[in-house]
Structure 1
């Protein structure tokens, strides 16, 4: 693909999806704080927020993750939006020490409208999103008909191709840390997808 600069994108609004996650520190506070920070940025309107979901971590031994997604309306270009996400991560103490290591906050740009973009620091759609139930499950809750421009499939169609049994909705008011009791989660795999 040809290089893209911020000037290639007109100053009009585009839909975007951001995935949020974290597994160390005050995770829910960080996730909710990140959404509040996004809402304060000129050129970003937070439209919908998913519920929070718990999933097993990849990589070295570490606590489970809590993940969710938000849909946005943005007038920022993709590189500008990425820089905003990185700045918010840093504000919440994100330190990049190892691949797939624990993190206070992880913000991933999943979609930017129907654009496809491949740069050294930014690929849209996110190159792994179609394999990640911790992205697809919360996204199916708030944007089930969003179409992945690479595959032409909706989120509902993509979610049917992955095993979602290891993604559990987090019960309201849950304090993180330790193991979850049965009454603190809904049945694994019984994720309601709303249209």
Structure 2
């Protein structure tokens, strides 16, 4: 039985918008992912980082992949697009984050679910609320969390 999961997509190097679109296409053609619904694209300034502005969105998927298998898939797509990890929050050609996986809470060396900082990031919360405005995180409603991030600049693309 497929489960619902949310993937955060971001890029701020190279042809960011095109890279996001290619990553979404790869997700749509991945065995074990049955559907992909995408929020609008947003531009954002880096948070806790430096570099060019980001292109961001969130995708809601229905998947049969277990969380770590999905993470492996996401990292494989990142690698295809030249993702390097020279240091934390470095500018990137593509960033795919498993944000939330229905019914799963975990904290391992490889993966923490739900994503530990998603409630602090307007570039995650806004597209997530576009897809599912009633979703609540343990930190509160998406609306309340977005209000707490009102100092983070975000614009529709």
Query: Alpha-carbon deviations, 1:74-107, whole Å to 9, x = none?
Result: 1100000000000000011101111111100000
Q: Taking structure 1 as reference, are residues 98 and 165 closer, same or farther at Cα in structure 2, changes over 3 Å only?
A: closer
- Tell me the matched-pair count: 157
TM-score of the two chains, using structure 2 as the length reference = 0.93
Could you list the runs of 5+ residues in structure 1 that have no partner in the other structure? 1-11, 171-195
Q: CA RMSD in A?
A: 1.5
Equivalent runs, 1:90-101 vs 2, <5 Å: 90-101=79-90
Greater percentage in strand: 2
Which is greater in Rg? 1
**1:154 pairs with one of 141, 146, 149:** 141
Q: Aligned to 1:163, what secondary structure does the other structure show?
A: coil
Whether the 8 Å CA contact 1:137–1:164 is kept in 2: the answer is no
Whether the 8 Å CA contact 1:44–1:72 is kept in 2: the answer is yes
Query: Alpha-carbon deviations, 1:19-75, whole Å to 9, x = none?
Result: 000000111110000000001111112332011111111355410111000000011
Distance in 2 of aligned mates of 1:81 and 1:51: 22
Whether the 8 Å CA contact 1:54–1:169 is kept in 2: the answer is yes
Q: Taking structure 1 as reference, are residues 102 and 123 closer, same or farther at Cα in structure 2, changes over 3 Å only?
A: same
Whether the 8 Å CA contact 2:27–2:36 is kept in 1: the answer is no
Moved more, 126-135 or 47-56: 47-56
Q: Taking structure 1 as reference, are residues 155 and 45 closer, same or farther at Cα in structure 2, changes over 3 Å only?
A: farther
Q: Aligned to 1:160, what secondary structure does the other structure show?
A: helix
The alpha-carbon deviation at position 163 of structure 1 amounts to 1.2
The alpha-carbon deviation at position 145 of structure 1 amounts to 1.4
Runs of 4+ in 1 over 4 A off after TM superposition: none
**2:105 pairs with one of 116, 136, 154:** 116
The alpha-carbon deviation at position 142 of structure 1 amounts to 1.1
**1:75 to 2:64 alignment:** yes
Whether the 8 Å CA contact 1:59–1:99 is kept in 2: the answer is no
**1:86 pairs with one of 66, 72, 75:** 75
Moved more, 114-123 or 59-68: 59-68
TM-score of the two chains, using structure 1 as the length reference = 0.76
Distance in 1 of aligned mates of 2:64 and 2:78: 20
Could you list the runs of 5+ residues in structure 2 that have no partner in the other structure? none
